[in-house]
Structure 1
Amino acid sequence: MNAYLLLDFGSTYTKLTAVDVDNEEILATAKDITTIDSDIMIGFNKAYEELMRQLEGKEVNFVKKLACSSAAGGLKMVAVGLVPDLTAEAAKRAALGAGARVIKVYSYELTKDEIEEIRGLDLDIILLAGGTNGGNKQCIIHNAKMLVEGNINLPIVVAGNKIANDEIREIFKEAGFYFSITENVMPQLNSLNVEPAREEIRKVFMDRITDAKGLSNAENFINGILMPTPAAVLKAAQVLGQGSDEEDGIGDLIIVDIGGATTDIHSIGYGEPTKGGVNMKGLEEPYAKRTVEGDLGMRYSAMSLWEAAGSRKMRKYLGDTERKIDIESSCKYRNQNIRMVPETEEDILFDEAMGKVATELSMERHCGTVECIYTPMGAVYNQLGKDLMEVKYMIGTGGVLVHSSNPGAIMEAGTFDKENAVSLRPKNPKMLIDKTYILSSMGLLAQDYPDKAVRILKKYLVEV
């Protein structure tokens, strides 16, 4: 039978999925520790051996082998724009949507101190934006010159005021920098255009970054590393929500992805007000939106999760236990033992409480809010961000959710709460779990077979 082998070189685990593309079935899945520090193929080979053991007795012909990766910290970027709440924020959203981890966002003209700071960061790509088309061009040109003067010779994606492109092209060409120019992330005030920048970042990731990540050893075995893992998950979310040419989507949805280092939220939907008399305010929201919370993780970021939540919130989710758990010590242990697997009832309870905190805080940051302003004409209601109260589906992925006996309780922590009624979180979504870790692999498959990817997702996502 013809099959696709879909790989995710994750920051902790390398995950393999074998898919029968003709019958639209998952044949086998396997995973092993990602061995980026030595040879990435060591962990891959162990997972591959397990996969082939499961496929024993079946005549499988892998017609294509595609991969995504978040190994070695994933794709790390800084975004540079003009106004913090406008072009700088638009650049950040484009980078996040491309699957990047945005280390920092800079606005206005870069200073020498900021150039030194950028030099000291562990980065892969710089996204350079600034100015609407026909507007301010001095700032983005100044910033291009500063990057050259500081010898910040990293791949640069330019997505700013189009009338500055000719001059920027000459600046980078003369310096011998690797760069690419695409459409402005904000061609008009408050109007987003992030897809061209996302695609350009993905191309640079494929062309330039995979070798630097130690993934070149895998290139001999696979057909290509197509994108960062978060971009693959967002692609799966988009095709599942929207549907494809021949297959209906399921509608607006949210994906909660709780990992060891971050909690990612992906939302598919326009997020316009669901209540009458509410005005949209601020920057336009992308239809496919991703946010990353680098302080909300189960292992690498366990200490910062505790600091963000506070002990009282943690204890709220721990509930009544036989003895009082030392929250600080428990978080510190997980931070120092990133491969810890909870085995005791107490450890499982604590991990699930962490998962609830991560879900609540990351959803609160991702979803929009409504504010009431009193004027001489009466109360006026303004919405900032996406209204996701009527989202139909909430999909959970990540170890704490997949291995939980009650994942619905963890995900419910991210739904609407009357005590925080200004947060526009979903009220009554149907909850699904990605039990077989197929979201990233279906994002890869959707590049070739979007119809099949939608049908497989509908088939294998498990209702809570």
Structure 2
Amino acid sequence: MSLDGPQPAAVCLDVGSAWTKAVLVQPDGGLAGFAAHLTTPTDVLTGIDAAVRAVTAPGGTAAPDLLACSSAGGGLRLAVVGTEKLSSTEAGHRVAHSAGSRVVHVHSGPLDAADVRALRGSRPGVVLLIGGPDDDDPRVLLHNAAQLARARVRYPIVLAGNTGARGTALSVLRSTGRTVVACDNVLPRAGELVPGPAREAVAGVFARHVLGARGPGAAPRFRRMARLMTPDAVGRAAAVLARLAGAGALVVDVGCAMTDVHFAPLDGSSVGGPRCTVEGDLGVRCAAAGVLLEGQTEGIVDPVEADLLGPTVERMAAETGYVPRDPGGAAEDRRIAALAAVIAVRRHLKSLEDPGAIPGLGLVVLTGGVFRQRDPDRLAALIATLRADSVLAPVLGTVPVVVDTDFTVAPAGLLAEDGRTAAAEALLRDHLLG
């Protein structure tokens, strides 16, 4: 929107699953302060208020505007209910990739009472219900739909099973008030996996989940405050960066619970594939185990390094507020973050029409709280990890890679969304492009 007249300073808030970050930005885009507080799960406003007080108190800034985005919900937990173990597991992971989710439970075969209890115990945010190929016997799918309809499960169900039985299963589930999104079969024919439609459905559930603090106990003030997902704010900033750089901008945001990748072409087109992919199994705290697992699967983490990083990853996953206090711990933090960035960009490339190239790419930015480090040698090592990757090297070429050490990308996106375009441009120009 267009704003007339002088504007006050703004506190730009990014409410994450582990940390709430507050950045104070002057009307001209000058960076005036940064503060962080652990996100408070029982009352998210406690952490927000503490972060705002910390960033405004030193300068005595009077009544700044408050702009907020949130990813407090973190990655979406996905449970899979199917007919055969191997195909159900593979389908679940393929659907979860780039849809902001991670697989936490897989069941195959007819559900019984104990199976339903195990499903509930995995605390999913969404259930992917599948059967077999379209020409298979649908009885297991229909049995499982009936079990879920009767069970005490209130999370959304993505129904991606046998085409001929889908209408019956949908009616059974909706007859007891279940929230169901129906889409094409993930396994339409034997040996064929088509994850796209189910992935799109899961991504829609993720978009409603990621803001967090949306349950009955959530404070109305937070619901009014945080109307924008953090990935949307970062994507908004990517578009500003592309305009400033005069070339396409690729922005990788590594968080505690997920990592998202945004590409903003200079011409604003969406040709060639999605602009944003979100990985709910890659992060530097609760999703750190996914980074180590996928790093080994992709062949970029060898067994020796996996053994060395294993204890640290366990601590990261168990202590979301963990901050390393020694150089060795900080180096491991950076390594996990760099691996998360590499794997996330690899997956983003796979989503494109031409996975071997990003036309017009002229800038790569790494952002996220973990990158608030200013040692040039250590930052150079981060960048070298991306450049040396066998898959990314041909795509990145000699494109400049910049690390957002001052945490300006999400705040700039919030400023741009609020119509403060000049302030957003100044913030990014001074701290990333200067």
- TM-score (norm: length of structure 1): 0.64
TM-aligned CA distance change 1:144 to 1:57, over 3 Å: same
1:289 maps to what in 2? 277
Whole-angstrom distance in 2 between the partners of 1:220 and 1:258: 24
Counterpart in the other structure of 1:15: 21
- Which secondary structure does the structure 2 equivalent of 1:393 belong to? strand
Q: Could you say which structure has the higher strand fraction?
A: 1
CA contact under 8 A between 2:19 and 2:321: conserved in structure 1?
no
1:14 Cα deviation from its structure 2 partner: 1.4
C-alpha change, 1:267 and 1:40, in structure 2 (3 Å) is: closer
Paired position in structure 1 for 2:259: 264
Q: Which amino acid aligns with 2:102?
A: V
Q: In structure 1, what is the equivalent of residue 268 of structure 2?
A: none
SS in 1 for 2:22: strand
Question: What corresponds to 1:70 in structure 2?
Answer: 72
Give the conservation status (yes or no) of the 8 Å contact 1:416–1:426. no
**Kept in 1: contact 2:79–2:128 (CA 8 A):** yes
More relative contact order, 1 or 2 (CA 8 Å, 6+ apart): 2
SS of the equivalent of 2:387 reads coil
Q: Do the aligned partners of residues 448 and 88 (structure 1) sit closer, same or farther apart at CA in structure 2, a change above 3 Å counting?
A: farther
Higher percent of residues as helix:
2
Residue number among 338, 355, 371 corresponding to 1:401 in the alignment = 371
Aligned to 1:379: none
C-alpha spacing 1:203/1:299, structure 2 compared with 1 (3 Å): closer
C-alpha spacing 1:255/1:211, structure 2 compared with 1 (3 Å):
closer
Q: Which residue of 2 aligns with 1:351?
A: 330
Change in Cα spacing, 1:3 to 1:105, as seen in structure 2 (3 Å) is farther
SS in 2 for 1:175: coil
- Aligned residue number for residue 355 of structure 2: 386
Aligned residue runs from structure 1 range 322-361, under 5 A: 339=321, 341-343=323-325, 347-356=326-335, 358-360=337-339
Report what 2:55 is aligned to.
51
The one of 34, 48, 62 aligned to 2:39: 34
Residues 267 and 160 (structure 1), Cα distance of their counterparts in 2 relative to 1, 3 Å cut: farther
The question of whether the paired residues in 2 share the 8 Å contact of 1:87 and 1:131 is answered with no
Counterparts of 1:162 and 1:454 in 2: how far apart (Å)?
48
Cα deviations by residue, 1:282-330 (Å, 9 ceiling, x for unpaired) = xx97442233445x63688489849954574489xxxxxxxxxx87777
Please tell me whether the aligned partners of residues 24 and 56 of structure 2 are also in contact (alpha carbons under 8 angstroms): no
**How far apart, in 2, do the equivalents of 1:440 and 1:110 lie?**
45
Give the CA deviation at 1:405. Answer: 0.5
2:103 alignment partner in structure 1: 103
1:427 pairs with 2:397: yes
- Give the secondary structure class of the aligned counterpart of 1:172: helix
- Which residue number corresponds to residue 4 of structure 2? none
Partner of 2:383: 411
Q: d(CA) in 1 for partners of 2:49 and 2:57?
A: 12
In the alignment, structure 1 segments of 5+ residues that lack a partner are: 271-283, 316-325, 371-382
- Aligned residues of 2:145 and 2:172 also touching (Cα < 8 A): yes
By how many angstroms is 1:205 displaced?
5.7
1:434-449 equivalences under 5 Å are 434-443=404-413, 449=419
Distance in structure 2 (CA, Å) of the matches to 1:339 and 1:402: 15
TM-score (norm 2): 0.67
Cα distance change on mapping 1:443 and 1:143 into 2, 3 Å: farther
Structure-2 residue corresponding to 1:251 = 248
1:148 CA drift (Å): 1.5
Letter in 2 for 1:172: L
Helix, strand or coil for the counterpart of 1:367?
Answer: helix
State the distance in 2 between where 1:397 and 1:436 align.
9
State whether residues 368 and 387 of structure 1, in contact with CA within 8 Å, keep that contact through their aligned partners in structure 2: no
- Matched residue type, 1:351: A
| 1:236-292 per-position Cα deviation (integer Å, ceiling 9, x unaligned) | 47645776xxx8874151415164xx562525389xxxxxxxxxxxxx974422334
Q: Judge conservation of contact 1:16–1:48 (CA < 8 Å) in 2.
A: yes
1:126 equivalent to 2:127? Answer yes
Q: Report deviation, 1:167.
A: 4.3
Deviation readout 1:139-158 (Å, 9 max, x if unpaired): 86665334224432223355
User: Where does structure 2 lack aligned partners over 5 or more consecutive residues?
Assistant: 1-6, 266-271
Distance 1:87 1:297, change over 3 A: closer
Is 2:402–2:432's contact at 8 Å kept on the other side of the alignment? yes
Residue in 1 aligned with 2:174?
173
